[in-house]
Amino acid sequence: MHQTSTFDLLSTIEAAASAAIVAAVVCVSLSTTLRERGRAALALALWFLIVITLGETGALGPHSAAGVPGLGAAVAVPLAALACAFLLIRSTREAMSAIPVWVLIAVNSVRILGVSFLLLYSAHRLPAPFALVAGWGDIFVALTAGPVAWLLVRHGTQAGRWALAWNLIGFVDLIAAIALAATSSPGPIRLFMEPPGSSIMTTLPWIIIPGFIVPSLGALHIAIFYRLLSGHQKSSRNKSPLQLASDLACPSSAHYSHRSRA
């Protein structure tokens, strides 16, 4: 019992830190000025608090009125909203296009969280195939995110095919994890009946993953597809980490520079 509590505490810290990293990248991808980024940060913080509340109250648990459909909506609605913002709103699309593609890829390193799925499986708290597919898939994506990001920085568009293949794998991994979680949870669409089920993912701290991290990363995958397939990845080679840090510190000047080049 003590080991379980310690593991859950450490996992809470890990999930919260990962969510903060992902939220920072999403925030700067949504806007180009300090004021806009402040508003985006506030919206992301509100979304995160809603997810925490859902986990604390058990509102998306298997025996709640919302159940599996509610959890599906908690993933799909913010993912769709972010994707639409990236692709359909001009100002947001320009902000997203100003962020180097390698940054959007590198942030997926937080998916090393997949190790937790394997540990939960070994402790009989998550079922197969969900835990194994999601766990090993996330670990693979996390460990390869850095090298793929480096290839883009080093070789630019010449590494586009590698980045596109990696992005497809990462996006499919998220979809597979969502589908397996839904079909492993008590409800009308359950296909995998072996206990313990995946209902733990609707409780704290685990709900942070499907409720916040997965939709955010899913939207970033869509943004990466757009950048790679439309040819808007030039900045991934032209900006070094030091230049990027400068842009984030002075977003207005970075936006002016980007518009001037356009």
With contact defined as beta carbons under 8 Å apart, do 21 and 110 qualify?
A: yes
**Rounded to whole angstroms, how far apart are CA atoms 240 and 138?**
26
Is the pTM for the entire model greater than 0.85? yes
Asked if residue 259 belongs to a domain, the reply is no
Q: What is the pLDDT of residue 233?
A: 63
Specify the pLDDT at position 64: 86
Average pLDDT of the chain, as a whole number: 90
The band of 241, judged by pLDDT with boundaries at 50, 70 and 90, is low
The share of the chain scoring above pLDDT 70, in percent, equals: 87
Residue 68 confidence (pLDDT): 84
**Mean of pLDDT values over 127-146:** 98
Residue 89 has pLDDT above 60, yes or no: yes
- Cα angle 187, 190, 196 (rounded to 5 degrees) comes to 90
The per-residue pLDDT for range 176-193, each reduced to its tens digit, is: 999 999 999 988 889 999
Residue 236 — pLDDT band, cuts 50, 70, 90? very low
Q: What are phi and psi of 125, to 5 degrees?
A: -110, -10
Residue 253 lies in a domain: no
Provide the pLDDT for residue 249.
54
Q: Is residue 115 part of a domain?
A: yes
- Collect all residues with Cβ–Cβ distance below 8 Å to 77 and sequence separation of at least 6: none
Is residue 32 domain-resident?
no
**In the predicted model, is pLDDT for residue 262 greater than 80?**
no
Q: What average pLDDT does this structure show over 187-204?
A: 92
Q: What is the pLDDT of residue 244?
A: 55
Residue 252 inside a domain? The answer is no
Residue 4: pLDDT above 90? no
Q: How many domains does the chain have?
A: 1
**Tens-place pLDDT, residues 20-76:** 999 999 999 999 899 999 999 999 999 999 999 999 999 998 888 888 889 999 999
Higher pLDDT: 162 or 248? It is 162
Residue 232, pLDDT > 70, answer no
Q: Is residue 250 part of a domain?
A: no
133 within domain boundaries: yes
Is residue 16 one of the residues assigned to a domain?
yes
Looking at residue 219, its pLDDT comes to 98
**In percent, how much of the chain has pLDDT > 90?**
80
Q: For the segment 102-119, what is each residue's pLDDT rounded down to a tens digit?
A: 999 999 999 999 999 999
Q: Provide the domain limits for residue 147.
A: 2-27+37-245
* Encoded tokens for 110: 């937080």
* Identity of residue 16: A
Note whether 125 and 173 are within 8 A (CB). Answer: no
Can you tell me the mean pLDDT for 222-249?
Answer: 68
Higher pLDDT, 162 or 64: 162
Q: Is the pLDDT of residue 238 over 60?
A: no
Q: What is the largest CA-CA distance in the chain?
A: 59
